[in-house]
Structure 1
Amino acid sequence: MTGNEQQIDTRLEQAIRDLLERRSPSATICPSEAARRVYQGDDDGWRSLMEPARRAARRLAEAGQVEIVQGGRPVGPAEARGPIRIRRVRRPPR
Structure 2
Amino acid sequence: MDDAGAALERAIEALLDARTPGATICPSEAARAVAPEGWRDLMPEARAAAGRLAERGTVEVTQRGAVVDVGTARGPVRVRRVSR
| Fold shared, TM-score > 0.5 on shorter chain | yes
Structure 1 SS opposite 2:2: helix
Letter in 1 for 2:9: E
- Taking structure 1 as the reference length, what is the TM-score of the superposition? 0.82
Among residues 29, 54, 67, which one is paired with 2:60 in the alignment? 67
Q: Distance in 2 between matches of 1:10 and 1:81?
A: 23
- The whole-number CA distance in structure 2 between the counterparts of 1:24 and 1:14 is 17
How far residue 84 of structure 1 moved from its aligned partner, in angstroms, is 0.3
- Structure 2 gaps, min length 5: none
State the alpha-carbon separation in 2 of the partners of residues 15 and 33 from structure 1. Answer: 8
Deviation at 1:77, TM superposition (A): 3.6
Identity of aligned residues (%): 56
How much has 1:76 moved relative to structure 2? 2.8
Question: Larger RCO: Structure 1 or Structure 2 (Cα < 8 Å, ≥ 6 residues apart)?
Answer: 2
> Which has the larger Rg?
1
TM-score by length of 2: 0.91
Does residue 25 in structure 1 map to residue 18 in structure 2? no
Root-mean-square deviation (CA), in Å?
A: 1.4
Which 4+ residue blocks in structure 1 deviate beyond 6 angstroms? none
Count of residues in Structure 1 that have an aligned counterpart in Structure 2 = 84
